[in-house]
Structure 1
Amino acid sequence: MAKQKQTKSKSSGDTLRYAGYPRAIAYVNSDGKKRYKELPWGFAVYDTGEREGKYKVKSKVDGKTYEGQYAACHRLRRGSKESTTIWIREHELQDNRCLEIVFVDIGQGDGCFISTPEGKSIVIDAGEEDNMCHYLNWRFGTSKKTKFEAAIISHPDSDHYKGFEALFARPNFYFETVYTNGLMEYADPKKPLGPEKSHKLPDGKKGKLCAGLVTSYDELKTFLADKKNWTTKSGRGKQFASMLNEAFLGNKEIRRWGEDKPEQIPGTGKETMGDYKMLSVDDEYLPGYGPKKPVSMQILGPVTDVVDGRRMLRWLESNISKTKNGHSVVLKLVYGDVSIMLGGDLNIPAEHLLLSHHTGMESPPKPEDKEEFLAAARKVFAVDVAKSCHHGSSDFTPWFLQALNPTATVVSSGDAESFSHPRSDTLGAIGRYSRAEGDARPLIFSTELARSAENSIAKPWELKASLMDKFNAVSERADSREELMSGIKDALKEADIERSVAVFGAITLVTDGDKVVIYQKYEKKSSSGEHDIYCLTRGGDGTGPLEYQPRET
């Protein structure tokens, strides 16, 4: 048989299109015989407009028969078009861009990336190490200028914010606005969350409030300018404030292989972030994502107490960890008829505070008020998909899980075994309180369990340290620059860190506002494909709530 003609397209003729629901198959040639890659729903490709070959197939998804030609395409990777031509059946391509949420395997902590149908990019938390940076490098490339609409730091715990250090230092990354819950780490050990104020709370009890919240760009500028706020007597800056200071100044770094330290590039301001803002229930919605927008993001937490015209956050159980975690930024994202809950590290007192605030009722409720309470709570908190708060910790109230009532839950957990996240009782409770009617099944995903032990790098930062040791050894014995570079390249062959983090362990949600696909990479390629794909569709006559029914895809 004659070899199929392979044609390179001209950029001017390319059209950006996307893999159709629930996946598209890319072939090596236009005869459709040899698979190249499986492309999950929403995967971006450039359609050259060239067509070859013919096909007639019966879909396993809807049972319909489709016929047409193969479209010559190029995958979009690292922010650029790949040169390799792939062939995709015409009916497996779509023009409309979906909403995509990637729960990145960032180890112990949280981190997710959102790509909106309008092409906006948002990062919510970034873990403790640089896995999120590796993922975004893999997705956008290391040199292309990339603008993110927002960096949302749910709360100042290092396993949620420290990964932003690497992102803020990237010369090619820029964030229009950095959002936080307003809490700042202060240098005073007696007042680690800043000035305090005693106040009578709505329930009549006397409470202690965090009065030193940093709510705006100007307030951040004032806070950072007075280094006594965040620098200890030994001259060491508090980690969270130090990171924000570097971002505020616009300082950047260039990292070169084989060099122990990155090259520092002093900023002049505005190189990293354009604005800073505190988020709370008082704002109602994330700026630009109001209730009338195609994608809305309602702010359900933290709940503030306004005293003398200033927002304050109450101390929870007089515990700094409970207070920082419990006042996490909580977002309810809605696109079309699909709803998703994205929260930080909520805990029992925080969940009761949220439930009480949004229902106007006591939480936990009195026995005679249970049904009314749960109905009111679900009007606000019920979603189709939820990101499990606090990595699957057992510090939760069943009332909050019942209010969420999701059909799918994603748990972001890592390798810090002392926490044993996700907890067995938490997984059991999630399953118990999830939505599943008839033969439908609730779904629970875990970034840690999704990771392929054989193919991925669980702790890339440790591998980087090992590689650096090898680089140093190579540099000591190399007699020329050529020998040095050759040795470095040999060491790098041991791992593809960015691809490992990006591909293995990540859990991706894609939706068009009606259907939902959640997928993760198989540990090994199976006969059914390269990805474990779960489809959430409407129950009943197609107008009911989203549910998962096992089916072949």
Structure 2
Amino acid sequence: MQHCFVGLPQDKTGNSVKTYLYRENRKTKALQVLWGDWLNVDGEEADGWLRVIWAPKNAAKRQTLYIPKAHTSGTRPLEVVFLDVGQGDGCVLITPERGEGEAVIVIDAGISEHMSMFLKGRFKSYKDDAFRFHAAVLTHPDEDHYGGFEQIFGNKGFGFKHVYHNGLVERPVKGTFDKIGGLKADPQTGIKYAEDLALGRQEIEQHFGGGADPGRFLFPKVMRAALENPNVGNFSMLSTEHGQKEDGRTWLPGFAPSDGRLYQIEVLGPVAEPDAAGKPRLRKLGSYGETKNGHSVLLRLHYKKFKVLFGGDLNEKAEKFLLTRYTGRSRFPPEDSGIYDEMIMEARNWFSADLMKVCHHGSEKVTDAFLQAVNPGAFVISSGDEEGHVHPRPDLLGRLGRTGRGKRPVILSTELQRSTREAEDEKLVRGLTDKVLKLAESPTEKLRNKIIDDIWVLGRSNVSVYGSIYVKTDGDRLIAAFRIESGSEVKKWFTFDYAFDENGVLHLMS
């Protein structure tokens, strides 16, 4: 029988109901499952239940469970996993197609090994010796966004058809703007621009190939790892001038309306401005940090009725630049003016979204204008503890609630959804100690294997287990879910369920 996926069953009022796999008696719940989870179906029972082989490749955890056929689906939703990478950003977009049509896009990877660990765990069942993802997107050269790619690119078990970046690639030199080739003033306006952009593989090889010494600089090491991985293909700048242009908008190549998918991925930033000769450049937006953050790759996912905005590390100066640029204004209007309100409404044509990955980990240095233009019903914040930035900022959380859509805008945070510390499990440590002592007295292969499994569980950070936020949509319904820290397999997921009414108004279902 063909394998299938967990569906999104609904009650008589239209609310989705929780789904479970059951024991053989069909009454005892074994574990809670989530919309889109893959099911290894072993057959169908006469009473309309499906037999499911759970954990088929893990002999210790393999078991036969059951699910009502009515709670399954032959199709799966599009999925976005906002991974808890600690301080930083990292998410994975998994398209709904099966087989060759599936595209997996990794948008940033944090700075630690968490993204690498997630990719290994999620895709280890793929049969290819080297699973080739569709794309890696390095939104901008900040370590807490790109650092995790060093380990990923360095693993030849992974490959990427495309590596996209914002054109600002940091050379192995000291300083600030010197890292991206310096700035040059426009002779007509006096505005300073970064003009030495990396447009394709040629520039990447020139700066980071075998003849260049990366020294101790991390970005060059990441690029070198990608160049030395034979399963990594193209390197390309991604911007409003570097993508697939259709109908006055720019799209990620292969994900434009004409490509015939049910969903599209729009490129909203960085905004490249051509010089007199037509050469692309990116303007200075304040300090070096403000400039490289402000020119983050900015993506908006369209799936039928739903839109998701990936906000990078935008800041106040960048947001004001984008809002005025997209609405054709020469300057940012006063907040108490009618022109300001007009700008917000016009900007929604470009930036409005139902769910927003909040800019810059919940920093307070963002504008209410941009938040009002996006006006999402739900926010996702990627941040980490034990850092000095105080992300997410408490005052920012209040502003999100005020500018969000509806009476109950939902704010989800990878840090706040995980209340445990990253890697602390006193009970497991004590149990493991007892097992080690027993092993010294009477070694057995079973006990030895159990100790090895427990060590791996202990070494796995809770960041990648409990803080991650899963967003799934088929274009008509959307859920945002996170793991409950109960440790129970039956009470495993907490979800928010969204749908549009007949008037096209987004609602958080009760």
Shared fold by TM > 0.5? yes
**SS of the residue 1:364 aligns to:** coil
Deviations along 1:97-120, one digit per CA (max 9) or x if unpaired, are: 110000001000000011101221
Alignment identity in percent?
A: 33
For the 8 Å contact 2:31–2:489, the answer to whether it is kept is no
**Selected match of 1:314 from 260, 283, 307:** 283
State the AA in 2 paired with 1:91: A
- Following the alignment from structure 2 to structure 1, what is the Cα–Cα distance between the partners of residues 385 and 331? 34
Could you tell me how far apart the structure 2 residues matched to 1:151 and 1:72 are? 37
The residue type equivalent to 2:223 in the other structure is: L
CA distance in 1, matches of 2:110, 2:311: 14
The structure with the greater share of residues assigned to strand is 1
Q: Are residue 385 (structure 1) and residue 362 (structure 2) matched?
A: no
**8 A Cα contact 2:88 2:361, kept in partner:** yes
Partner of 2:265: 297
Say if 2:326 is the partner of 1:358.
yes
Residue among 415, 432, 443 paired with 2:410: 443
**Residue pair 1:19, 1:45 contacting (<8 A) in 2 also:** no
Write the deviation string for residues 100-153 of structure 1: whole angstroms up to 9, x where unpaired.
000001000000011101221110000010101111111112885322100001
CA distance, structure 1, for counterparts of residue 310 and residue 44 of structure 2: 41
Shift of 1:503: 3.1
- CA-atom RMSD in angstroms: 3.1
Aligned pair partner of 2:42 in 48, 55, 60: 48
Instruction: Tell me which moved more, 386-395 or 90-99.
Output: 90-99
- Compared CA separation, residues 212 and 246, structure 1 to 2 (3 A): same
Does 2:29 correspond to 1:35?
Answer: yes
C-alpha deviations, 1:413-440, integer Å up to 9, x for none? 101331110001111111100110xxx4
2:480 corresponds to 1:518: yes
Q: Residues 303 and 353 of structure 1 are in contact (CA less than 8 Å); yes or no, is this contact kept in structure 2?
A: no
Give, as a single letter, the amino acid of the residue that structure 2 aligns with 1:444.
I
User: Given that residues 135 and 502 in structure 1 are in contact (C-alpha distance below 8 angstroms), is that contact kept between their aligned partners in structure 2?
Assistant: yes
Query: 5+ unaligned residues in a row in structure 2: which ranges?
Result: 10-15, 244-249
The C-alpha deviation readout for 1:295-351, integer Å capped at 9, x for no partner, is: 21111000112123321111211x111111111000010011110001210001111
Amino acid of the structure 1 residue aligned with 2:508: Y
Match of 2:50 in 1: 71
Q: Secondary structure at the match of 2:163?
A: strand
1:207 aligns with 2:172: no
Q: 1: distance between equivalents of 2:226 and 2:449?
A: 31
- Measure how far apart 1:246 and its partner are: 1.7
Does residue 493 (structure 1) correspond to residue 488 (structure 2)? The answer is no
Match of 1:217 among 198, 201, 226: 201
* Counterpart mapping for 1:297-446 below 5 A: 297-307=265-275, 308-317=277-286, 319-366=287-334, 367-436=337-406, 440-446=407-413
Task: Note closer, same or farther for the CA distance 1:149–1:143 as it changes in structure 2 (3 Å cut).
Answer: closer
Q: Deviations over 1:183-214 (max 9, x none)?
A: 1112343512214211157xx4x222112211
Work out the CA distance in 2 between the residues paired with 1:373 and 1:537. Answer: 28
Report the residue type matching 1:38 in the other structure.
Answer: Q
Letter in structure 1 aligned against 2:208: L
Q: Write the deviation string for residues 426-474 of structure 1: whole angstroms up to 9, x where unpaired.
A: 11111100110xxx41100000111141xxx6159xx9xx9xxx9xxx9
* Inter-CA distance 133–526: structure 2 relative to 1 (3 Å threshold): closer
Distance 2:446 2:173 in 1: 48
| Equivalent pairs, count | 471
Q: Which residue number corresponds to residue 177 of structure 1? A: 162
Tell me the alpha carbon deviations over residues 229-287 of structure 1, each in whole angstroms, 9 at most, x when there is no partner.
Answer: x64xxxx152112211121012xxxxxxxxxxxxxxxxxxx23x111100001121101
Give the gaps of 5 or more residues in structure 1. 1-12, 54-68, 251-269
Deviation for aligned residue 1:371:
2.4
The 3-state SS of whatever aligns with 1:493 is helix
Q: Distance in 1 between matches of 2:30 and 2:445?
A: 36
- The 5-angstrom pairing of residues 177-196 of structure 1 reads 177-189=162-174, 191-196=178-183
Classify the secondary structure of the residue corresponding to 1:332: strand
Which segment drifts farther, 402-411 or 490-499? 490-499
Task: State the Cα distance separating 1:218 from its structure 2 match.
Answer: 2.0
1:8 corresponding residue in structure 2: none
Distance of aligned partners of 1:136 and 1:80 in 2 relative to their CA distance in 1, 3 Å threshold: farther
Instruction: Give matches, 1:250-265, under 5 Å.
Output: 250=229
What amino acid is the match of 2:454?
K
**CA distance change for structure 1 residues 170 and 226 in 2, over 3 Å: closer, same or farther?**
closer
Residue 352 of structure 1 aligns to a residue whose secondary structure is helix
CA distance in structure 1 between the aligned counterparts of 2:32 and 2:300, rounded to whole angstroms: 31
User: Taking structure 1 as reference, are residues 488 and 544 closer, same or farther at Cα in structure 2, changes over 3 Å only?
Assistant: same
Cα distance between partner residues in 2 of 1:527 and 1:86: 13
Contact 1:44 1:76 in 2 (8 A): no
**Could you tell me which amino acid in structure 1 is paired with residue 472 of structure 2?**
V
State the match for 1:129 in structure 2. Answer: 112
- Note closer, same or farther for the CA distance 1:82–1:168 as it changes in structure 2 (3 Å cut): farther
User: Is the contact made by 1:107 and 1:459 (CA closer than 8 Å) also made in structure 2?
Assistant: no
Distance 1:184 1:155 in 2: 8
TM-score (structure 1 length as normaliser): 0.79
1:77 and 1:36 mapped to 2: Cα distance? 16
Mark the CA change 1:378 to 1:543 in structure 2 (over 3 Å): closer, same or farther.
Answer: same
